[in-house]
Amino acid sequence: MSETTSLARLSMSLPGELFRQLDMMVEERGLPSRSQLIAELIRHALAEHEAYTRPDEMLAGTITIVYRGDRGRVRHQLAQTQADYLREVISSQHVFLEDDQSLEVLLVQGPASLLKELCDALRRVRGVHQLQLVTTTALLPPLYEQDGSEKGAAA
């Protein structure tokens, strides 16, 4: 049965303030029910869990990094770390924030174990304040066949 036709009921108790915040979040997002929001949060947590428990699972996702640019060679160290994981880092987007901070978003794909290693290596760079990996098991379509030829190229 598909996820939408087979439903299971969940009963839970929450502290009052957390319950109030949950209801506010449902209202602010314009969702029809708490169940929809809770299902979304659980899907996110399960995808994150996959990245740490199934090392061979192929995942795609983003790594979001916030760091201070005035700390020595932080930009150079981040770029070097990305170069060390050239097959996993598909692209990156960088913007400067206020107070000499930067925001960088990496589009990544690869085995969960390598994405975890990449995150750990980026976290070790002095000056990194925040780092979050968000993954999905849906993958980017392959650009090249295994033999290196372009996909869809004439033989």
pLDDT at 155: 47
DSSP readout, the chain? --TTTS---------HHHHHHHHHHHHHHT-S-HHHHHHHHHHHHHHHHHHHH-TT-EEEEEEEEEEETTSTTHHHHHHHHHHHTTTTEEEEEEEE-STTEEEEEEEEEEEHHHHHHHHHHHHTSTTEEEEEEEEES--PPPSB-TTSPBTT---
pLDDT at 142: 80
pLDDT at 119: 95
Per-residue pLDDT of the chain (155 residues; tens, 9 = 90+): 455 578 899 899 999 999 999 999 999 999 999 999 998 888 877 777 766 677 888 889 999 999 997 766 899 999 999 999 999 999 999 999 998 899 999 999 999 899 999 999 999 999 999 999 988 878 888 867 666 555 555 54
- The residues, ordered by sequence, that sit 6+ positions from 85 with a Cβ below 8 Å of its Cβ are 108, 110, 114, 117, 118, 121
| pTM for the whole structure | 0.68
Comparing CA positions, the residue from 132, 140, 139, 114 lying closest to residue 48 is 132
- The residues, ordered by sequence, that sit 6+ positions from 142 with a Cβ below 8 Å of its Cβ are 151
pLDDT at 148: 56
Mutual angle of helices 16-29 and 34-53, in 10-degree steps: 100
